[in-house]
Amino acid sequence: MKAFKRIFAAATLLVTTGLASEVNAQVPLEDFFKNPEKVGYQISPDGKYFSYMAPYENRLNLFVQEIGSDKTTRITSETARNLAGSMWANGHRILYIKDTAGDENYQLYGVNVDGTEPKAYTAFPNVRTQIIDPLENIDSLVIIGLNKRNPQVFDPYRLNLNTGELTQLAENPGNIQGWMTDHDGKLRVALAIVDGVNTQILYRETEEQPFRPVLTTNFKETVNFATFTPDNKMVYALTNIGRDKTALVLMDPATCEEKEVLYTNDKYDISGLGYSELKKKLTSVSCTGHKGIIRHYFDKDEEAIRTKLEQKLKGYDIGTTSQDKSENIRMIYAGSDRTYGTYYTYNVKEDKLTKVADAAPWIKEEEMVAMTPITYTSRDGLTIEGYLTLPKGYTMETAKKLPVVVNPHGGPWARDTWGYNPEVQFLATRGYAVLQMNFRGSTGYGRKFTELGYKQWGQTMQNDITDGVEWLIKQGIADPKRIAIYGASYGGYATLAGVTFTPDLYACAIDYVGVANLFTFMQTIPPYWKPLLDMMYEMVGDPVKDKEMMEKYSPVFHVDQIKAPLFVAQGANDPRVNKAESDQMVEALKKRGIEVEYMVKDNEGHGFHNEENKFDFYRAMDKFLSIHLKK
- Active-site residue, from 606, 609, 626, 628: 606
- The sign of the CA dihedral 358, 364, 369, 370 is positive
**CA terminus-to-terminus distance, the chain:** 53
Is 69 marked active-site?
Answer: no
Q: Is 574 a catalytic site residue?
A: yes
Burial environment of residue 398 by CB neighbours within 10 A (0 to 12, 13 to 18, 19 or more): exposed
Closest by CA to 601, choosing from 237, 81, 166, is 81
Taking a C-beta distance cutoff of 8 angstroms, is the pair 584, 556 a contact? Answer: yes
Q: How far apart are alpha carbons 628 and 33 in whole angstroms?
A: 23
Catalytically annotated residue among 574, 609, 622, 626: 574
Catalytic annotation, pick one of 21, 489, 582, 626: 489
8 A C-beta contact, residue 378 and residue 384: yes
Nearest 5°: phi and psi at 109? -130, 160
Give the phi and the psi of residue 525 in degrees, each rounded to 5.
-70, 160
Task: Answer for the pair 87, 134: CB distance below 8 angstroms, yes or no.
Answer: yes
CA distance linking residue 248 with residue 283, whole number of Å: 13
Please tell me the distance from the alpha carbon of residue 125 to that of residue 85, in angstroms, as a whole number: 19
Q: Which residues contact 604 (CB under 8 A, 6 or more apart)?
A: 101, 102, 571, 572, 573, 574, 610, 613
d(CA 336, CA 360): 13
Question: Which segments of 456-609 are extended strands (E)?
Answer: 478-488, 508-512, 566-571, 596-601
Instruction: Give CA angle at 182 (178, 187), nearest 5°.
Output: 50
Q: Report whether 168 contacts 155 (CB < 8 A).
A: yes
Distance between CA 176 and CA 169 in Å, rounded? 14
Using CA atoms, how far apart are residues 346 and 336, in angstroms rounded to an integer? 19
Q: Which residues contact 301 (CB under 8 A, 6 or more apart)?
A: none
The DSSP result for 72-138, as a single string, is: EEE-----SS---EEEESSSSEEEEEE-STT----EEEEEETTS-S-EESS--TT--EEEEE--TTS
Catalytic residue check, 183: no
Q: Give the residue numbers annotated as catalytic, written as ranges.
A: 489, 574, 606
